[in-house]
Amino acid sequence: MLRRVRLLRQVRLNSNVPGRPNESGDLEKIPKHSNVSSSGSIPPIKTSISNMLAKKKVEYNPEDNKEGVTYEFHAPQSPLEVRSEQIRKSHQASKWRKMLPSLAVGGALIWGFYAYNYFTADKKEAIPDLLLPDRFLPYLVSFKYQVDQDHYLIELTRKNRGSILAPHQQLFDGKRIWSVEIKQPEINIVRNYTPLPLYVAGIDPDTQEPHLRLVTKPEEEGKFVLLVKRYDSGEFSRWLTSRKLLDEVELRGPVVEYKVPYHPLDKFPARPQLQPLLSKIQPDPEYPENIPKPETWAFYAAGTGVLPLLQMLYSPNPPKGFINAYVSLRKESNLPSQLKTLNYFAEKCGRAKFTYLISDNGDRLEAKHVSRPQLPNFSGLMDVKISEEVYRQKLLAQKRQEVKNQIQGARIEERPLQEEDVIPKLDIRLQPQNAFQQFSFFRKQPPQVYPSFAFICGPEGFISYVSGRPNLNNLEQKDTGDLSGLLKDKGWTLSNIKRLI
Residue 498 annotated as binding? no
Count CB atoms within 10 A of the CB of residue 268: 14
Low-confidence stretches of the chain (pLDDT < 70) are 1-43, 57-75, 90-98, 119-126, 164-168, 380-391, 408-430, 443-448
Question: Per-residue pLDDT tens for 212-246?
Answer: 999 998 888 899 999 999 998 889 999 999 999 99
In whole angstroms, what is the distance from residue 316 CA to residue 273 CA? 5
Q: Would you say 237 is a known binding-site residue? A: yes
- Residue in 351, 335, 350, 137 with CA at minimum distance from that of residue 254: 137
Count of CA atoms in the C-beta half-sphere (13 A) of 233: 0
Strand partners, 315: none
151-158/137-146 β-pairing: antiparallel
Residue 419 DSSP SS3: helix
CA-closest candidate to residue 309, choices 348, 274, 270, 280: 274
Which tens digits make up the pLDDT trace of 289-319? 878 889 999 999 999 999 999 999 999 999 9
pLDDT, position 231: 92
Is 404 assigned a ligand-binding role in the annotation? no
What is the per-residue pLDDT for 14? 45
Q: Cis omega before residue 254 (within 30°)?
A: yes
On whether the CB atoms of residues 11 and 42 are closer than 8 A, the answer is yes
Residue 65 is predicted with a pLDDT of: 59
Cβ atoms of 252 and 131 within 8 Å: the answer is: yes
**337-348 vs 307-314: helix crossing angle, rounded to 10:** 60
Instruction: Give residue 169's pLDDT.
Output: 79
